[in-house]
Amino acid sequence: MKKIILTFFILFCFTQCVNAIGTPPIDINYENGIYHIILKGDKIKKRIRFVASEHLITNREMHQMSGARLTVNAGFFDPKNEKTMSYIVMDKQTIEDPLFNENLMQNPLLRSNIGKILNRTEFRVIQCDDDNSWRYEITPHNSSVDFACHIENAAQGGPLVYPELKLEEEFFVVKKDGKVIRESASVLHKTSRTIVGLKNGEMHILIITDANPMDLYEVHELCKKLGLDRAMAFDGGSSTSMNYKDKIEVISKKGDGAGRSLKSFLLVY
């Protein structure tokens, strides 16, 4: 409970500061069942947060509690114990660490591939002290940060989708004698997707809805068509969720209409 209260106190204070100095543009286009969101300019890089809830909640609930302009689902999690499968960094602090997920560590198959899982791709917001610059990175978790720079906010997901797919390297696909014997996150099947990418230093978010489900090979081709420099996946399928102000809501496989309960989120103020 203390963790939740502290997190939302930070977010409330952050929201008030942002509202006082205006809001940078968020462009949203919808075509063929896909929302294409572009976060434009440098100022918005300072208004991105990755957060996690102690207990699973819906994207809608997080959106309403945080007061963000845009809320999107982020990293992977274990619905059985409500613990993360992905690293999450908020305000320079690692707030979620998969090494503390006992279900991950006690599973023999996962434990034997733990190096691949822990080094899955993540999206970073980087700040550098020497010139006070901010930038994005899509890189493996174990990648180092440039001298005089630090990770302000980050969320791990995976796999890397573009310029190349990293399905086996990030333990989303296991093959034996050239045949797939294990698949995670429905990477080879058509489903809804949450994709984050980079182009000319700007962040792009693709919300691929149930109206146009894709496998990751199709997502790779879409990213190529859009001219993205790099792209990666966050959790997808029924986790794919997006709320923009009180105007747009995406819930995959709606069921009762509330959406799936989730662990971590991308917030844009």
* Tens digit of each residue's pLDDT (9 = 90 or more) over 193-243: 999 999 999 999 999 999 999 999 999 999 999 999 999 999 999 999 999
Least confident of 1-5, 110-114, 135-139, 200-204: 1-5
Taking alpha carbons only, the member of 72, 79, 88, 25 closest to residue 208 is 72
186 class by beta-carbon count within 10 Å (0-12 exposed, 13-18 middle, 19+ buried): middle
Are 77 and 65 within 8 A, CB to CB?
Answer: no
Q: What six digits make up the tokens of 208? A: 């691929």
What would the pLDDT profile of 232-267 be if each residue is shown by its tens digit?
999 999 999 999 999 999 999 866 667 899 999 999
pLDDT tens across 83-99, in order?
Answer: 999 999 999 999 999 99
**How far is Cα 252 from Cα 269, in angstroms, rounded to an integer?**
23
Q: What's the mean pLDDT in 137-151? A: 97
Query: What's the rounded mean pLDDT across residues 108-128?
Result: 97
Q: Name the pTM for this structure.
A: 0.91
- Domain parsing of the chain, residue ranges: 2-268
Which residues lie below 8 Å from residue 103, measured CB to CB, with a gap of 6+?
A: 78, 80, 81, 83
Whether residue 10 has pLDDT greater than 60? no
**Cα 86 from chain centre:** 9
Strand 133-140, strand 173-176: pairing? unpaired
**Tokens 């792209």 identify what position?**
231
The answer to whether the beta carbons of residues 88 and 75 sit under 8 Å apart is yes
